[in-house]
Structure 1
Amino acid sequence: MKAIALTSFGIPEVLEELEVPVPTITDTQVLIEMRVSSINPADILLRSGAILKSPMADKFPAQLPLVLGNEVAGIVKEVGEKVRHFKPGDRVMGMIPMGSYMDYVAVEEDHLAIIPESLSFEEAGAAPAVALTAWQALFEHGRLQPGQRILVQAGAGGVGHAAVQLAKQHGAYVIATARDYNHDFVKGLGADEVFDYTKVDFAAQITEPVDLVLDSAMDPSTFGSTFGTGLPGEIGKKNYSVIKDGGTYISLAAFAINQYPKVRDIDAYFFQARPNRTDFESIVRHMKENKLNIHIDETYPFTAQGLLEAYRKSEEMPKRGKIVLSKNTG
């Protein structure tokens, strides 16, 4: 079968199509014929080799060739002996730790959910990581309640645009940051206020403290400046300034924020989503009921050239939602 893999770390041109064996599934796994996958920020940082030069290097494999990607939507081809919720022919979406840029992917049963015919593979394949991250950050760790105030950094991005919708659906007052050209997009998702943190001091613009900050920004002023230490940078420190005493700060960028001295009794977390079928089923239900719409910025064919172009697109502005790879394109 075909896989698109890194043969060295660096620019997108290092990607190659390789022939690899079809995965052998365990008793608890499902073999998926991949139809759609997508790009996430961690894929970009791995491809470039940036993560391997950071304190997080031991959490990621470095052996080449390396197949990236962790989101998948497709058709069940085979199930393990202990699998009870899926059968061959089912349309599913889910997550794996790494390696979704392949024709066939082995996925744990608990990391999948059935997708209805009303959702395309493209919509489903763009959703798992960003929707699950937003869902668990808001409701599991953030314990967001109706009527509370939340700041979503990078409200037009993958996680951010899902979080804005979910928070608004839950009855929160939503403040978001986004570049000027994305303001109408983010307001259309439900944000009550939107600020361009590259042009104004968002902390000075927010007149009433927020209960929760979800920082999904991966731009140089946050992720880039803190990558060496994993501690909050300039934007992170401003995030603290707008959170009420005893509030919550969830960061997807500052991976050492848990070690940061506690400020005004604010609970601070570095967060990574944990796949599970129950949460995925809740996300699918929200998508089916049009309570959550994953915006697809661009779709590229599942080829080495397609993935190269997708990565190049991901480096450009403006960015909105997700970039997907599809076998239905090209």
Structure 2
Amino acid sequence: MKAFVLRSYGSLRLAEIDKPLPGDDEVLVRVRATSVQPYDWHFMRGQPYIARLMGGGPGLRKPTFAVLGADVAGHVEAVGRNVTDFRPGDEVFAMPKQGGFAEYALVAAAELAPKPKNLTFEQAAAVPLAASTALLALRDQGGVQPGQRVLVNGASGGVGTFAVQLAKAFGAEVTGVCGPRNVDLVRSLGADEVVDYTKEDFTRTGRRHDLLVDIAGSRSGRACRRALTRKGTHVLVGGPGGRWLQPAGRMVATLAASLFASQRTVLTDVVRCTANKRNLMTLTELIEDGRVMPVIDRSYPFEEIPAAIAYQEEGHAAGKVVIGARLQ
């Protein structure tokens, strides 16, 4: 099969590799669409360097994963002998065991779900990692409740656009923070208030929130605590990247400082975020009900995956960057 292969850091090449065979509890998916996100270019470059020392990270001297691509949507090609929930031809979406930057991807059956009926393959490929990360940050780590005030810092990106919609679906009053060109987009997603960070610092408005989902990482932990109620929760999802420590260094410093504060600070581990079947089914229900929809910034053909990664790395995408048609 054709796949974009990472042999060494920074070098993604189109190559012919063996088509994987599903194990007993696995499903082989013929990829119709995938998506690109910061996860991919961080792994492609092996940055921040400190991540190479961590389990599940990029790998110390060479890449851990030969094929990147954390999301897939497509058709079931073959199933392992223990798999009874899926059959060839089923339309599905998931986070694959072997990456989505290929014609076929391996997925554990327990992490696979039927594709939402009202989404195209490209739309469905925008969902698994980004939406599951937002779900984890809000529901599992933020403990969001109806009527709470939630602020999403970085509301126009892949995770942020899902976080705004999910917070509204959970009954919260939502403030989104974004740049000037995305104010209308964030408002259209249901945000009750939108803060243009070029005009206003959300940490100095005097408004307090029960939950701050911090994707952009544009303010210090101390500043963010000013935007929280006395018992509020600060969920760290991401932040500006760097070659050596960031965003890991900022996250560790924020967690350490929070030990002396009344507010709670928690870290969302995006690398280990699992888009399992249960979470995907929760998202599917919200999507098919019309309460959540993926936002697509750009779509690229399969052969232009490196260009898609380069665009994602610029950090200006509003919503998701997806990969559509496969090479024939």
Name the TM-score, length of structure 2 as normaliser.
0.87
Which residue of structure 1 lines up, in the alignment, with residue 31 of structure 2?
34
Q: CA deviation at 1:258?
A: 4.4
Which residue of structure 1 lines up, in the alignment, with residue 222 of structure 2?
237
User: Distance between the aligned counterparts of 1:235 and 1:183, measured in 2?
Assistant: 23
User: Distance between the aligned counterparts of 2:166 and 2:117, measured in 1?
Assistant: 22
Which residue of structure 2 lines up, in the alignment, with residue 216 of structure 1?
215
Which residue of structure 1 lines up, in the alignment, with residue 100 of structure 2?
100
Q: Please, which moves more after superposition, 29-38 or 263-272?
A: 263-272
Task: Trace 1:1-330 onto structure 2 (pairs within 5 A).
Answer: 1-10=1-10, 14-54=11-51, 57-62=54-59, 63-64=62-63, 66-96=66-96, 99-205=99-205, 207-217=206-216, 222=218, 234-253=219-238, 254=248, 255-256=251-252, 257-272=254-269, 273-303=273-303, 306-316=304-314, 318-327=316-325
User: Distance between the aligned counterparts of 2:301 and 2:221, measured in 1?
Assistant: 37
1:52–1:83 distance in 2 versus 1, CA, 3 Å: farther
Q: CA deviation at 1:173?
A: 0.9
SS at match of 2:143: coil
Q: CA deviation at 1:118?
A: 2.7
- Structure 1: segments with no counterpart, 5+ residues: 223-233
User: Distance between the aligned counterparts of 1:329 and 1:168, measured in 2?
Assistant: 39
Q: CA deviation at 1:57?
A: 4.5
SS at match of 1:133: helix
Q: Kindly indicate whether the alpha-carbon contact (under 8 Å) linking 1:183 and 1:194 is maintained by their aligned counterparts in 2.
A: yes
Q: Kindly indicate whether the alpha-carbon contact (under 8 Å) linking 2:155 and 2:176 is maintained by their aligned counterparts in 1.
A: yes
Q: CA deviation at 1:47?
A: 1.7
1:116–1:187 distance in 2 versus 1, CA, 3 Å: closer
User: Distance between the aligned counterparts of 1:145 and 1:41, measured in 2?
Assistant: 29
Name the TM-score, length of structure 1 as normaliser.
0.87
SS at match of 1:59: coil
Which residue of structure 2 lines up, in the alignment, with residue 228 of structure 1?
none
Q: CA deviation at 1:216?
A: 1.2
Which residue of structure 2 lines up, in the alignment, with residue 226 of structure 1?
none
SS at match of 2:77: strand
User: Distance between the aligned counterparts of 1:141 and 1:98, measured in 2?
Assistant: 28
User: Distance between the aligned counterparts of 1:3 and 1:171, measured in 2?
Assistant: 42
Q: Please, which moves more after superposition, 192-201 or 102-111?
A: 192-201
Percent identity, aligned pairs only, is 35
1:116–1:183 distance in 2 versus 1, CA, 3 Å: closer
Q: Kindly indicate whether the alpha-carbon contact (under 8 Å) linking 1:3 and 1:103 is maintained by their aligned counterparts in 2.
A: yes
Q: Kindly indicate whether the alpha-carbon contact (under 8 Å) linking 2:46 and 2:52 is maintained by their aligned counterparts in 1.
A: no
Task: Show CA shifts across 1:241-288 (max 9, x none).
Answer: 211122211111254354444243322111132222111011112112
Q: Kindly indicate whether the alpha-carbon contact (under 8 Å) linking 1:130 and 1:158 is maintained by their aligned counterparts in 2.
A: yes
Task: Show CA shifts across 1:40-72 (max 9, x none).
Answer: 111111222323344755432433583211111
SS at match of 1:7: strand
SS at match of 1:237: helix
Task: Show CA shifts across 1:266-318 (max 9, x none).
Answer: 22111132222111011112112211110111110111xx1122123224464
SS at match of 2:220: helix
Which residue of structure 1 lines up, in the alignment, with residue 241 of structure 2?
none
User: Distance between the aligned counterparts of 2:315 and 2:67, measured in 1?
Assistant: 26
User: Distance between the aligned counterparts of 1:55 and 1:5, measured in 2?
Assistant: 19
Which residue of structure 2 lines up, in the alignment, with residue 231 of structure 1?
none
Q: CA deviation at 1:146?
A: 0.9
Q: Please, which moves more after superposition, 115-124 or 143-152?
A: 115-124
Indicate the RMSD between aligned Cα atoms, in angstroms: 2.2
